[in-house]
Amino acid sequence: MFEALKKYNFWDGKVKGCGFFRRSYLKKLKELDVTKTIITITGGRRVGKSFIVRQYIDFLINENKIKPKQIFYANLFIRELESLKDPKIFTEAIGLWKKRLKVDENKRKYIIIDEVQEIEQWEILINSLYEDFTTEYKVIITGSNSKLLSGELSSYIAGRSFSLKVFPLSYPEYLEFTQKSGSRETFIEYMKDGGMPEIVLAENSFAKNNLIATTIDSIIMRDIVLRHDIRNISLLKKIVDYFCSSPSDEISKNKVANILKDSGLKSSIHTVSDYIEYLKDSFLIHSCPVFSYKKNDILKSVPQKVYLNDHSFSMSNTGFKDLGKLLENIVYIELLRKGYKVQTLKIDDKEIDFIAEKETEKMYIQVAYTLGDIDSEAYNREFGNLLLIKDHFPKMVLALDDILYAPVKGVEHISVIDFLKN
């Protein structure tokens, strides 16, 4: 066992497999690494969680001057470390690490576990490490499920964990990753490529499409089917196909069930609801609640708009043609990435794409691929809807237009590229 641990750790001080440094996440990790509190890193498959933790190990060794032997790293997706999925064997491995390397018990020790959900009853193991008062462990865990901190774990370490969500590459990260300059052309490439590093690096469209399809399939099979013992896999895949072909659409459980029925697939509202929740938990989709000021709507079930975790998922079949909806998806994920709580607002038959709120900040956003002429339907719709809002918070129309119109009663027309870059 020790040789396998030695092979996949960095006790010689040389950290391999760091990849492209995601500085914003490293900054957040540094800020969270001030107490004994557990750090939980979550995010979808292939967004780069493993690279980020290895980058942080590199920071600990080379900048924070932590001795390499004080850091224990285990990636549970590596076959040679498969035995560590047994919590008893994992505990034995910790003891072996400390004994063979003569780890300094008087100094902080880092235990970093990639894909912690692979360990049986991992919640109990993590809680045990946290509660060990004879020494100090700083525990950092990653997982591909948004509910990592719900259920049993919340009762074991309530108030003892910081959470950090990892998203696909932002547009500025994409530019740095690909070493391209910011322009309309490179933004169109970003719209096609998405933000998952491995897919961005694929040399041709065939390879990209294959990686997108295998990523989606991996999420379906490993994060949903196996985890929840799904029997009707064809129904689940049909729902995934529907969401990938209609990002930014407003949906309800009834609507999805009816669409499936029309396709010859029978399903209950309960099953559809469960499957949608599983897709959200696995970071394949996100749902944005649709809010209404109408009194009669308050008691109704809240509809949702569905967005893809990475906009490349919309290319999984034949490519997505509605660039306005694709752009809306990109802006929504950027708002989440920046820590905003996001809702859609309905005012009678009018819609505001996003109300974004964070602490004392609030802004209203409309997204359009292009506005066209000043007397066009798109111009009047996007500006007109925002003019219905009478408060003093910022209001903006984001679009890919080369020429920007002057503000109208406080409503600004802003380049979506500039918004994403800032």
For residue 299, what pLDDT is reported? 45
DSSP conformation letters of 262-304: HTT----HHHHHHHHHHHHHTTSEEEEEEEE--HHHHTSPPPE
**Of 33, 21, 283, whose CA–CA distance to 140 is shortest?**
33
Q: Do the domains 2-165 and 171-421 sit in the same CATH topology, yes or no? A: no
Average pLDDT over all residues of the chain: 91
Instruction: Tell me which of 131-145, 255-269, 287-301, 407-421 is least confident.
Output: 287-301
- More confident position, 266 or 28: 28
Neighbour count for residue 210 (Cβ, 10 Å): 13
For residue 320, what pLDDT is reported? 59
pTM of the model: 0.93
* Superfamily (CATH H level) for 2-165: P-loop containing nucleotide triphosphate hydrolases (3.40.50.300)
Q: Who's near 91: CB < 8 A, 6+ residues apart? A: 125, 128
Domain 171-421 has CATH 1.10.10.350: no
Q: Alpha-carbon distance 195 to 20, whole Å?
A: 13
pLDDT in tens, 371-383: 999 999 999 999 9
For residue 19, what pLDDT is reported? 93
Contact 27, 184 (CB under 8 A): no
Q: Alpha-carbon distance 321 to 83, whole Å?
A: 46
For residue 422, what pLDDT is reported? 85
The residue-averaged pLDDT of 104-131 equals: 92
Q: Decide if pLDDT at 295 tops 60.
A: no
Position 317 confidence tier, pLDDT thresholds 50, 70, 90: low
Q: Alpha-carbon distance 347 to 294, whole Å?
A: 8
Q: Alpha-carbon distance 319 to 241, whole Å?
A: 12
Q: Name the residue ranges covered by the structural domains of the chain.
A: 2-165, 171-421
The residue-averaged pLDDT of 144-160 equals: 65
For residue 251, what pLDDT is reported? 87
For residue 266, what pLDDT is reported? 80
pLDDT in tens, 217-227: 999 999 999 98
Place of tokens 């469960």: 274
